[in-house]
């Protein structure tokens, strides 16, 4: 039996992933007998032993599951460059064994696992220790890709191309010297691996012509690669810097799109769009993408719809005519509320629709029926939020817009009565904020505070959302009367005898009072606040139950009343509150602080306090 643990360093506690999660994956893959391992180094030993020691095709199933597990948990299993090398040796051994036995699934999984392990290693290991291994692995993958039209390893070559695509995503421009060679491979390839070759080629071309620094990556590291393979263009060889070569490659990519799946078309088209954005000269031939608009316009496919949306967003008038713009708008409206589409898909269409209308506000006039954006009874908080914000923008600057907007809010208010949640509260407050910003008229300025006060009285935990709303409106609409009206109504509502507040929820009420203290005297209403405190909070029955923090917050409120206003107006009430605090509180800190404030109040003149 082999033991590899002496090669590795011991992982730190902060780096160790929860073993219970790892054990669940082991059981799911039929490797539950390995869950007895107590740490990751010993688990990795067991996995490598399975890969190296068990020979024969009958063991391929267990090796396949081990390879999948290594791919899933590579971040937890790697702690040094030695770990990476051990895994590579084991998987390379299995890969060579598969070549003799013709097991394409295990073949491909070995490549996937090796690539994943190598990419994950850059997060934990110094890139200098991985440079040689990284170069060898890329050359190995490129060698597989170069075996064009080999019917015996189509699946393997497809996986190799996908792995190279992932490497190029993580390390932009690392394959820029391979553009011409990849182009020739894509031209020659005629099997189903062709789409993977096309996707890789499109990404590499897009990165190669982009104004990006070639030493940027997902982890802030970049491997130092020394190419040796004949597949790689050496320094001094011609790259695709010439416009003619680039145009030829883009034309090839477009010509091959009919051979690709919808997902492949979407990926390659996004890369072509990036190329045209970085090389404006290419935009002269943007019309070659027009067939995609015609082919994908009327569809419920999210991927296809996204392609058309991106073409309109980035290439716009170069491809789209007026009728195409209207057709795209109608399709976005239809799919954003289509009942057969999932909620997440409809949310995507709502985002695209909002973006489209924000860039082309003149198209709002062509929307005759706003029923498409009215929320339904089964819509969730996120859908309500997006639809109502969109409805607000559609009705902006239109007469009597407040009535339909407030009517559309009814469904969301009903949902809040049935099940109050943070998402529902957040959606309501954001919608009302948007209403107020887009339609700051008399009707809306009166209705918004009324709705917020009514909701807060029913659910006092809504207070933090309302106070945040007040801050935001004060910042964006400093001349609005809504904040003062809303705060006044809240103070009045929660100083009444029928207030729904209890001792457990009083901290919400206190937050309202503390904000009101910073406003004008007519908004704050000190007498009403102090009378409420005397009757319900600092009385003999309740004062002793106050927590240390809540007691100090009440005394802070008293001090702010003393320092912000002329105490003549509420001198008696404030004295009584402090006296009751001194008489009923049992906390020494609170007693001392109440004594100090009472002494200041009765001993010093208003000018010294105020």
Tens digits of residue pLDDT in 93-125? 999 888 777 788 999 999 999 999 999 998 888
Structure tokens, 14: 């902060």
DSSP 540: H
Q: What is the mean pLDDT of the chain?
A: 88
Instruction: Measure the CA–CA gap between 584 and 590, rounded to whole angstroms.
Output: 10
Say how many CA atoms lie within 13 Å of 429 toward its Cβ: 21
Nearest Cα to 495, choosing from 466, 518, 524? Answer: 524
Which of 23-27, 38-42, 460-464 shows the lowest mean pLDDT across its residues?
38-42
**pLDDT tens digit sequence for 137-169:** 999 999 999 999 999 999 999 999 999 999 999
More confident residue, 6 or 412: 412
- Give yes or no for residue 261 having a pLDDT over 80: yes
- Give yes or no for residue 85 having a pLDDT over 70: yes
Structure tokens, 320: 């789209």
- The pLDDT value recorded for residue 603 is 81
- The pLDDT value recorded for residue 10 is 46
> Which helix (H) or strand (E) element contains residue 268?
helix 262-278
**Single pTM value for the model:** 0.84
If phi > 0 it is left, if psi is from -120 to 50 it is alpha, else beta; for residue 220 that is left
What DSSP line would sit under 169-217, residue for residue? HHSTTTTGGGHHHHHHHHHH--STTHHHHHHHHHHHHHHHHSS--TT--
Whether 257 and 268 have beta carbons less than 8 Å apart is answered as: yes
**Residue 222 phi, psi dihedral angles, 5° rounding:** -145, 120
Task: Kindly state the average pLDDT of the residues 249-277.
Answer: 95
Nearest Cα to 176, choosing from 215, 214, 204? Answer: 204
Instruction: Measure the CA–CA gap between 213 and 477, rounded to whole angstroms.
Output: 43
Angle (CA) 451-457-461 rounded to 5° is: 100
Instruction: Measure the CA–CA gap between 51 and 282, rounded to whole angstroms.
Output: 50
Angle (CA) 200-92-137 rounded to 5° is: 35
Whether 106 and 63 have beta carbons less than 8 Å apart is answered as: yes
**Residue 540 phi, psi dihedral angles, 5° rounding:** -60, -35
Please give the biggest Cα pair distance in the chain: 99
Residue with tokens 């005898």: 497
- Give yes or no for residue 432 having a pLDDT over 60: yes
Instruction: Measure the CA–CA gap between 542 and 277, rounded to whole angstroms.
Output: 68
Rounded to 10 deg, the angle between the 588-603 and 548-564 helix axes is 10
- Give yes or no for residue 429 having a pLDDT over 90: yes
- Give yes or no for residue 463 having a pLDDT over 50: yes
- Give yes or no for residue 7 having a pLDDT over 50: no
Task: Kindly state the average pLDDT of the residues 407-430.
Answer: 90
**pLDDT tens digit sequence for 192-216:** 999 999 999 999 999 998 875 555 5
Residue with tokens 């296809």: 304
- Give yes or no for residue 372 having a pLDDT over 90: no
367 three-state secondary structure = coil
From residue 142, give the alpha-carbon distance in Å to each of 24, 175, 230, 474, 533.
35, 10, 10, 60, 77
From residue 125, give the alpha-carbon distance in Å to each of 47, 80, 216, 223, 279.
21, 6, 17, 11, 37
- The pLDDT value recorded for residue 244 is 60
Instruction: Measure the CA–CA gap between 429 and 465, rounded to whole angstroms.
Output: 7
Domain boundaries defined on the chain: 13-125, 523-610
- The pLDDT value recorded for residue 109 is 95
- Give yes or no for residue 8 having a pLDDT over 80: no
Whether 412 and 388 have beta carbons less than 8 Å apart is answered as: yes
| Other Cβ atoms within 10 Å of 382 Cβ, number | 16
- The pLDDT value recorded for residue 501 is 83
Nearest Cα to 444, choosing from 507, 413, 401, 474? Answer: 401
Which of 9-13, 313-317, 406-410 shows the lowest mean pLDDT across its residues?
9-13
Rounded to 10 deg, the angle between the 60-72 and 19-28 helix axes is 150
Instruction: Measure the CA–CA gap between 430 and 425, rounded to whole angstroms.
Output: 9
Structure tokens, 394: 């559609």
- The pLDDT value recorded for residue 236 is 43
Residue with tokens 């590291």: 221
State how far Cα 532 lies from the chain centre. 45
If phi > 0 it is left, if psi is from -120 to 50 it is alpha, else beta; for residue 480 that is beta
Q: How confident is the model at residue 3 (pLDDT cuts 50, 70, 90)?
A: very low
Task: Kindly state the average pLDDT of the residues 494-513.
Answer: 90
Nearest Cα to 584, choosing from 549, 551, 556? Answer: 551
Instruction: Measure the CA–CA gap between 223 and 81, rounded to whole angstroms.
Output: 14
- The pLDDT value recorded for residue 36 is 77
Residues near 607 by Cβ (< 8 Å), separated by ≥ 6? none
Whether 266 and 304 have beta carbons less than 8 Å apart is answered as: yes
Q: How confident is the model at residue 469 (pLDDT cuts 50, 70, 90)?
A: very high
- The pLDDT value recorded for residue 31 is 86
State how far Cα 209 lies from the chain centre. 29
- The pLDDT value recorded for residue 467 is 97
If phi > 0 it is left, if psi is from -120 to 50 it is alpha, else beta; for residue 4 that is alpha
Instruction: Measure the CA–CA gap between 53 and 403, rounded to whole angstroms.
Output: 75
Q: How confident is the model at residue 320 (pLDDT cuts 50, 70, 90)?
A: very high
Query: How buried is 300 (Cβ within 10 angstroms: 0-12 exposed, 13-18 middle, 19+ buried)?
Result: middle
Structure tokens, 471: 């801050």
- The pLDDT value recorded for residue 232 is 60
Structure tokens, 325: 């713009």
Instruction: Measure the CA–CA gap between 550 and 504, rounded to whole angstroms.
Output: 10
**pLDDT tens digit sequence for 537-559:** 999 889 989 999 999 999 999 99
- The pLDDT value recorded for residue 15 is 41
- Give yes or no for residue 11 having a pLDDT over 50: no
Residues near 587 by Cβ (< 8 Å), separated by ≥ 6? 548, 551
Residue with tokens 């970049």: 222
Our CA dihedral for 252, 258, 261, 263, rounded to 10 degrees, sits at 60
- The pLDDT value recorded for residue 243 is 53
Whether 1 and 46 have beta carbons less than 8 Å apart is answered as: no
Instruction: Measure the CA–CA gap between 588 and 551, rounded to whole angstroms.
Output: 11
Highest mean pLDDT (candidates 168-172, 262-266, 605-609): 262-266
């Amino acid at each position: 039996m082999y033991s590899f643990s002496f090669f590795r360093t011991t992982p730190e506690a902060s780096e160790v992933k929860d073993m219970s999660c790892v054990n669940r994956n082991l059981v799911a893959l039929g490797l539950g007998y390995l869950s007895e391992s107590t740490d990751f180094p010993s688990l990795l030993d067991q996995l490598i032993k399975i890969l190296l020691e068990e020979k024969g095709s009958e063991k391929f199933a267990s090796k396949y599951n081990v390879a999948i597990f290594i791919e899933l948990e590579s971040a937890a299993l790697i702690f040094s460059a030695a770990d990476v090398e051990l895994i590579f040796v084991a998987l390379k051994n299995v890969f060579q064994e598969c070549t003799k036995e013709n097991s394409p699934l295990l073949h491909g999984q070995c490549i996937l696992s090796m690539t994943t392990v190598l990419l994950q290693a850059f997060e934990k290991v110094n890139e200098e220790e991985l440079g040689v291994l990284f170069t060898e692995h890329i050359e190995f993958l490129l060698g597989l890709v170069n075996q064009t039209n080999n019917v015996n390893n189509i699946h393997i070559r497809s996986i190799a191309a996908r792995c190279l695509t992932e490497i190029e995503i993580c390390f932009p421009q690392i394959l820029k010297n391979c553009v011409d060679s990849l182009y020739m491979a894509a031209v020659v390839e005629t099997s189903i691996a062709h789409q993977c070759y096309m996707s890789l080629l499109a990404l590499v071309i897009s990165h190669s012509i982009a104004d990006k620094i070639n030493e940027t990556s997902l982890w802030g590291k970049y491997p130092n690669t020394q190419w040796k393979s004949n597949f790689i263009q050496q320094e001094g060889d011609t790259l695709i810097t010439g416009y003619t070569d680039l145009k030829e490659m883009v034309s090839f990519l477009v010509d091959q799109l009919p051979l690709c799946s919808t997902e492949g078309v979407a990926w390659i088209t996004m890369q072509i769009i990036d190329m045209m954005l970085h090389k404006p000269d290419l935009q002269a031939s943007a019309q070659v993408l027009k067939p995609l608009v015609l082919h994908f316009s009327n569809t419920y496919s999210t991927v296809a719809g996204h392609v058309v949306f991106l073409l309109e967003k980035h290439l716009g008038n170069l491809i789209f005519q007026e009728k195409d713009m209207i057709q795209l708008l109608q399709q976005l409206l239809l799919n954003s509320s289509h009942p057969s589409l999932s909620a997440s898909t409809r949310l995507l269409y709502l985002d695209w629709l909002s973006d489209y209308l924000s860039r082309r506000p003149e198209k709002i006039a062509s929307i005759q029926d706003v029923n498409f954006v009215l929320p339904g009874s089964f819509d969730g908080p996120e859908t309500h939020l997006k639809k109502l914000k969109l409805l607000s923008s559609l009705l902006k600057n239109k007469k009597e817009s407040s009535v339909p907007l407030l009517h559309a809010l009814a469904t969301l208010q009903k949902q809040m009565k049935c099940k109050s949640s943070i998402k529902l509260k957040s959606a309501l407050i954001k919608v009302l904020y948007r209403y107020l910003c887009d339609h700051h008229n008399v009707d809306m300025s009166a209705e918004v505070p009324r709705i917020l006060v009514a909701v807060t009285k029913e659910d006092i935990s809504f207070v933090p959302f309302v106070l945040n709303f007040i801050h935001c409106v004060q910042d964006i609409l400093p001349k609005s009367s809504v904040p003062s009206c809303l705060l006044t109504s809240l103070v009045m509502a929660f100083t009444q005898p029928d207030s729904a507040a209890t001792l457990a929820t009083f901290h919400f009420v206190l937050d309202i009072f503390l904000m009101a203290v910073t406003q004008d005297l007519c908004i704050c209403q000190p007498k009403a606040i102090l009378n409420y405190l005397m009757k319900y909070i600092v009385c003999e029955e309740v004062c002793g139950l106050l927590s240390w923090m809540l007691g100090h917050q009440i005394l802070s409120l008293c001090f702010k009343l003393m320092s912000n206003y002329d105490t003549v107006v509420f001198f008696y009430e404030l004295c009584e509150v402090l006296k009751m605090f001194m008489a009923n509180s049992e906390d020494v800190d609170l007693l001392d602080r109440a004594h100090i404030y009472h002494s200041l109040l009765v001993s010093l003149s208003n000018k010294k306090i105020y």
